[in-house]
Structure 1
Amino acid sequence: MTTTTSVMRSEIAQQPEALRTTLDALLPMAGEIERLARETRQVLFIARGSSDNAAVYGSYLVQAHGGRLTTLASPSIATTYHAKMDLSGVLAVAISQSGRTEEIVDTMRWAAECGARTVGITNGAGSPLTEAADVALVTRAGNELAVPATKTYTTQLAALAVLALGLGADLDAGRLRGVPDTIEEVLAQPTDRLDAIVERLIGVKGAVISGRGMAFSTALEAALKLKEACYLHAMGLSYADLLHGPIAVVDRDTPAILVAANSGPTLPGTVALAERVAAAGAPAYGIGGGAALAGACDLAVPMPDVPEWLAPISLIVPAQLITEQLARRLGYNPDAPRGLGKVTQTS
């Protein structure tokens, strides 16, 4: 197996420090978010790509723990249809790694013109997104050179956790500060199970990645990583949606990768799905889920015990490592997937 170190692998290792610096900068801003949010009742998330997967985490977090209705925006309503609507009482949260994706900035400006208050989450200090937002949560991931988002994604999740705290979520900020230590623990684990999953993914053309609730964002982001860096036909699905028909594609040549926190209300369903996949003769690989999910899967990567609401920030790390290693084993450059750039402009 090649031992070449990619930029992506180096940036995966930088995540604990990026998260510490980000949390140090953003946690003191929870009060500022709280003051802005007093004028609002619900949240509209505006994002694309990995940032949109982060928004899914934010949506579950704010609804489950903050008691506010959330919606994922359709930016084309603003940029293509130029629709006008009443967004008074709405907090529009735009998420963009660079802060320079015109569609996202334009959609946030449109939301403000429609009466929304605005928050921008970005790694781009001084970017158009920060200049246009009422409050800017600027992550401290540093310069990210590899095209697949790693440290910018996990710092976005941390920013969304701070957002939830500012919106009144009854969560422990002290546990959030412990996430960098958790990721260091994940990175220090033996890699035998992760290596074995990579070996079994060589030669497959597609995979289904599934989780539910807080972990749904991880399934979506893991699938995106495998698509963009390994060119797999990877589908990220809630297990509830998977059972409504797409499970038919899971077979011995199309494995399922299942992600879950070690505890929480969605774990039993994830375990049941693993058992169903195994009964169909298809490979099932787990990330997290404790002993229950490991016992139902062919192979599973163990994860430290953290509260379900924090688990997605660390659950994505094994998926990042699998993606980087699999891309190299397939002869691809994970730092520069074909046809992709660091900033994607859409209209």
Structure 2
Amino acid sequence: MAAEVAEQPVAAARTLQALTSLRPAIRDLADGRRHVLFAARGSSDNAAVYGRYLLETHAGVLGGLLSPSVATHYRVPLDLSDTVVVCVSQSGSTQEIVTTQAWARECGAATIAVTNVDGSPLAAEADLALVTRAGPELAVPATKTYLTQLVAMAVLGTALAPEPTVLDADLARVPAEVERLIADRVGVGAAVAALRDASHVVASGRGLMMGTALEAALKLEETCLRPVRGYSYADLRHGPISVITSGVVAVLVAAPDGPLVEPLVELAGDLAGRGAVVVGIGGDPRFAAACALHVPGPDLPEALAPLGAIVPAQLVVEGLARELGLDPDEPRGLAKVTATDPHS
């Protein structure tokens, strides 16, 4: 896992180079279609959450998350003639997602596959395949494949924007920012120590950073075998915050700019007032000051911050797994390609 985290700057650069040229094909495929729906599971689903927010906030395109069970179990025929369905699977072989893509085409959708495996069933059967260039990923927890999926989402979100190239200068800085975060590791050790001693852990973010919070929670659960609840800021405020008390570590992720930094500063103070130890990832100086422990994030605008903000979380997770005497490469009971249903 550590080796594959270290490969991410190169993987991100290769993926940007490979996919940016596909923007015209993405625009042509989406021409005349008003909606984009994403189908995915696990880490790929968290990447899709970012894709949805980027489409809506940057490109002005209505996005949403598709429930694969509508295709695989209910088998409901829907009218998707005005929709692009984006199916996301690092292996391109998760049967549920392959089946969902076939169903979407039967329902009239244009289909885009996001996968790390060229020639996989998902890539071969899509109208357009965005094949990421992470290279083979041997550790079970998705790190470089997740980051390159985020790159694919950035390409998709910018391709459908009125000005597709407006973020290109910042996109070009992503590999260097990822490399800097891997090398610096500022605050990682202290965050590992806090999580090691926690009785309960919650993770939260909002908007474009929501997928990052969910991915951090997922990685802590599957790699460190700690139950972690991932919430949107709003959902945490709507009830679950009442159980926050001493012994809880709250992991908050924030972009360095944008309209949600201030609410997350306020949330950090509120959680600390309830007795939680707040570990902040990213954000601005005020956010860092509001957190008991802080791990710096990327110097990237909010629209692209998720491409860097996941890296500190990965470093913390890998370090915590080792601190707990666990093998981060092969978490208990998990495999690289997961069958959603036992018979599938």
Query: Which of 328, 332, 343 is residue 334 of structure 1 equivalent to?
Result: 328
CA apart distance, 1:190: 4.6
Query: Which of 136, 158, 167 is residue 165 of structure 1 equivalent to?
Result: 158
Unaligned runs of 5+ in 2: none
CA apart distance, 1:250: 2.0
Query: Per the alignment, do residues 278 and 17 of structure 1 end up closer, same or farther by CA in structure 2, a change over 3 Å counting?
Result: same
Give the equivalent residue in structure 1 for 2:189: 195
The reply to whether residue 280 of structure 1 matches residue 252 of structure 2 is no
Matched residues in 2 for 1:136 and 1:190: separation? 35
Matched residues in 2 for 1:275 and 1:214: separation? 21
**Which has the larger displacement, 161-170 or 127-136?**
161-170
CA apart distance, 1:10: 0.7
The reply to whether residue 174 of structure 1 matches residue 174 of structure 2 is no
Q: Aligned letter for 2:60? A: G
Compute the TM-score of the two structures, normalised by the length of structure 2: 0.97
Give the equivalent residue in structure 2 for 1:218: 212
Q: What SS does structure 1 have at the residue aligned with 2:335?
A: coil
- Runs of 4+ in structure 1 off by over 4 angstroms are none
Say whether the 8 Å CA contact 1:34–1:168 is kept in structure 2. no
Give the equivalent residue in structure 2 for 1:58: 51
Query: Per the alignment, do residues 169 and 103 of structure 1 end up closer, same or farther by CA in structure 2, a change over 3 Å counting?
Result: farther
Say whether the 8 Å CA contact 2:81–2:109 is kept in structure 1. yes
Give the equivalent residue in structure 1 for 2:224: 230
> Structure 1 vs Structure 2: percent identity of aligned residues?
53
CA apart distance, 1:34: 0.8
Deviation digits for residues 108-141 of structure 1, max 9, x if unmatched?
Answer: 1101100000000000110000111000000000
Say whether the 8 Å CA contact 2:51–2:153 is kept in structure 1. yes
For residues 284-303 of structure 1, the aligned pairs below 5 Å read 284-303=278-297
Give the equivalent residue in structure 2 for 1:183: 178
Matched residues in 2 for 1:190 and 1:212: separation? 24
Structural RMSD (CA): 1.0
Give the equivalent residue in structure 2 for 1:9: 2
Query: Which of 89, 92, 100 is residue 107 of structure 1 equivalent to?
Result: 100
CA apart distance, 1:248: 2.2
Deviation digits for residues 145-194 of structure 1, max 9, x if unmatched?
Answer: 00000000000000011011221254422211210011111112154x21
CA apart distance, 1:345: 1.3
CA apart distance, 1:301: 1.0
Give the equivalent residue in structure 2 for 1:133: 126
Say whether the 8 Å CA contact 1:205–1:232 is kept in structure 2. no
Aligned length: 339
Unaligned runs of 5+ in 1: 1-7
Give the equivalent residue in structure 1 for 2:312: 318
CA apart distance, 1:332: 0.5
Give the equivalent residue in structure 1 for 2:31: 38
Say whether the 8 Å CA contact 1:122–1:130 is kept in structure 2. yes
Matched residues in 2 for 1:292 and 1:30: separation? 37
Deviation digits for residues 16-74 of structure 1, max 9, x if unmatched?
Answer: 00000011100001111011110311001000000000000000000111111111011
Say whether the 8 Å CA contact 2:37–2:83 is kept in structure 1. yes
CA apart distance, 1:304: 3.5
Matched residues in 2 for 1:249 and 1:128: separation? 45
